[in-house]
Structure 1
Amino acid sequence: MTSHARISPARELHDNVSVPFTRARAMPKSVYTTEEFLALEQKHVFAKDWVCAGRAETLPNPGDYLTLKLAGEPVIVLRDRDGQIKAMSNVCRHRMSTLLEGRGHARSIVCPYHAWTYNLDGTLRGAPAMTLNEGFCKDNMTLPRVRCEVWQGWIMVTLNPDAPAPETALQGVRELIPGLDMATYTETYRESFRWATNWKVLAENFMESYHLPMCHAGTIGGASKLEEMVCPEGTSAFNYHWILKNDTVPLALAHPSNTTLAGGDRRKTWLLAIYPSLLITLTPGYFWYLSLTPDGPGHVNVLFGMGMSADWLADPQAERHLASVKALLDDVNVEDKGCTEKVYRGLLSDMAEPGPLSHLERPNFEFAQYLASRIPA
């Protein structure tokens, strides 16, 4: 009697990317639906690479903070008293309660359980009723630091002390788009939501514009022509493509006062997928982004934000233009939620099989290659 050894999800992924792109298929179902593969992602991707916590300008003052969970680790990101953005563990050194929640402002970090109090640099300032404990040393109770760097205005955090700095790993983004400096944009709106789909389904949805005419038929789909879409080869750190916009949304175009951009660059929208999970739509006038973290195989936590370039922010009509784009993006998000949740439901079907990729889905194949490069077979 012959027995067939089970193929692991990681092995299935490696087999999936072992063929040329012209023969590529969508990633195996197990890569999206199993706890086994999610555990590998947390260990080899989210615990090792840089993840975006938001925009630096949203923490303008010392004591402004945000919190996130990175590969299961609770993390605080804040602006310290020297004006620098830093990150540290969000777990008290006493009985291990989490410390801060959400976003806000704090003069110090006070544990909600026993009021141990930390300075903004993570050092322990005070601990009530600990003086009779001979083994207690306040100097040994500093919150562990987490690597944190600001790249192009984005707050990037990692648990990996050896990860190449974002400025090094993502130098290709600056070289690709020298005329748009994301550090000069300002976030004007953000929200968080949780969708019933795998994080990679949403990431892949962003990476290809093949779905625009159908999924977004009620909003932006009509302006998308499949025959005009271009998907160049990406890099080991990100993939990208672009779309040329008409004047339907003035904010997507270079401001009349902009003398840096010329020709098609004045109406080019860039779609940047920074691995593993920062997805940026960048235009001369505004940006919007998604930063994703998994919440089990079947759910994704999404940080969604948008903002404007400096010249458009100074325009007298800026608020009206931004409100128009915000309303449009709200509708687009509703459409994307519906489409990506349908994909996840389909992935759970016994009869589902990964199909061949279009030439417009090159970024999806490169994303699969990235994951395979991080996760051992």
Structure 2
Amino acid sequence: MTITLTSEFIRSLDSSAQDVSTAETLPPECYTDAEFYAFEKEAIFTREWLCVGRESWLAEPGDYFTTTIANEPMVVARNRKGEIKAMSSVCQHRAMLVAEGSGNARGFLCPYHHWAYSLDGDLVAAPAMNKTCDFDRKAHGLPNFKVELWHGFIFVNLDAEAEPLAPRLTQVAEAIAPYDLAKAEGPRPEPAPLMAWNWKVMFENNNDGYHASRLHHGPLHDFVPSNLAEFPPADPAAAGYLRYNGSTHPDASFNATQKAMLPIFPGLTEVERNRLTFANLPPTLSLVMTSDVVIYMILRPDSPQTHYMDTGLLVAPGAMKDDAFPHKLEAMWTATQHIIAQDFDVDAKVQIGLQSRYAKRGRYSWQEGAQAGLNNWLIRRYKAEWERHNPEPPVKPRLAVVGG
């Protein structure tokens, strides 16, 4: 199914940006259509703060890693001053990638023609360009992006005029503060496989309380039943939103024992130890937070119907020093993989269904309150992008008729 973006289509999205009791799902084309994906890249991924990784991945000057989000290759590095820099990894000569993977480097050398860039993105060498008229090295550096650190995560923004992220995350920051994620530790995620479904399908699944007691029914998940889901109201201007899910016992965790196997995050209160916290910073970061483990998922769209997702784990400081840590983590992760496999199977089949002529805009259960939160976040930005390029004509004042 394809669409032609019009003002009428954008207005039709308003029925998804309502309270969950009255809202309907987004049109299926928002998950499948190439024209909408191109629009979404401009509306969302070139204007919003994008999580790219953890600050701990750049421990030393010269450390770098690369990523690609919505078809934009990036390199993130710690320069010689200790500052974190993010920039395009596309050579400004012939568009070759100047960096791949991760490592430690003095700078970035394009392997094609050996244009060399500093860790700040400045072009420092360009062989055999002395006969090129009016060539100015300073004008050909790698495009730099805004960078902001938030609870140990690195965010970048391609929009040079973007407002800071943290002031729009006060509610989320307060909710997750007891975890002190800036000090949390965890192994670097393995390279992510390509997922054959739209990034929003994944983001919705990560935050769907409705399916928990149905799709995941069994001993690995029954301690967080759907009927204990809560959805705190969020400021429409906020950059993120929350979901809580009460647990049937304290310190519940995803493993065969249903109890935390690793050290509890030391700052948690009794309230936090009796629930799971789901923190959502669209379009790229979802957090699933138990008493002993935080699972983070960084979503990276690749096409209208595919994306990558970097999945990592964070634990309390010092937990990884325990000799038994690898064995406990393996037990926990093995159990979690059973749940993830169920989710991935559903996500792939949802994407198939969204392409059907019979796919329609559905209605929500109260246990899907997080979906309404995502819709409100998205549609506010879709409309702003549309109005930026298609302003409504001013309404002409009606002239009063005098006399009869």
State TM-score, norm by structure 2.
Answer: 0.84
Supply the AA of the counterpart residue of 1:75. Answer: M
Deviations 1:2-25 (A, max 9, x none): xxx9885433322332x5431222
Q: Is the 2:295–2:313 Cα contact (8 Å) retained in structure 1?
A: yes
Counterparts of residues 1-377 of structure 1 (less than 5 Å): 9-17=9-17, 19-133=18-132, 135-191=134-190, 192-217=192-217, 220-235=220-235, 236-243=238-245, 244=247, 245-246=251-252, 248-251=258-261, 254=264, 258=266, 260-376=267-383
1:154 Cα shift?
0.5
Which residue matches 2:392?
none
CA RMSD of aligned residues (A): 2.3
Q: Name the CA distance, whole Å, in 2 between partners of 1:364 and 1:274.
A: 13
Encode CA deviations 1:46-93: one digit per residue, 9 max, x unaligned. Answer: 110011111110121222212223443322111111122111121212
Q: Deviations over 1:269-315 (max 9, x none)?
A: 21111122211112332211111122222112211111212143344
Name 2:398's counterpart in structure 1.
none
Letter in 2 for 1:102: G
Structure 1 residues 267 and 105 mapped into 2: Cα distance closer, same or farther (>3 Å)?
Answer: farther
Partner SS, residue 97 of structure 2 = coil
Call closer, same or farther: CA 1:232–1:342 in 2, change over 3 Å: same
User: Is the contact between residue 249 and residue 325 of structure 1 (CA under 8 Å) also seen in structure 2?
Assistant: no
Whether the aligned pair in 2 keeps the contact of 1:53 and 1:68 (CA below 8 Å) is: yes
Q: In 2 relative to 1, CA 234–48 (structure 1 residues): closer, same or farther, beyond 3 Å?
A: same
Report if aligned partners of 1:185, 1:286 keep a CA contact under 8 Å in 2. no
Shift of residue 95, structure 1, vs aligned partner: 2.2
2:397 equivalent in structure 1: none
Q: Which runs of 5+ in 2 are unaligned?
A: 387-404
Q: Secondary structure at the match of 1:23?
A: coil
Amino acid at match of 1:240: L
Normalising by structure 1, report the TM-score.
0.90
Structure 1, unmatched stretches of 5+, are none
Counterparts of 1:351 and 1:132 in 2: how far apart (Å)? 62
2-structure distance, mates of 1:136, 1:87:
25
Alignment length (residue pairs): 369
Secondary structure in 1 aligned to 2:305? coil
SS at match of 1:101: coil
Q: Is the 8 A contact 1:271 1:280 kept in 2?
A: yes
Question: The residue matched to 2:68 in structure 1 has which SS?
Answer: strand
* Contact kept in structure 2, 1:252 and 1:267, CA below 8 Å: no
Give yes or no for contact 2:210–2:226 (8 Å, CA) kept in 1: yes
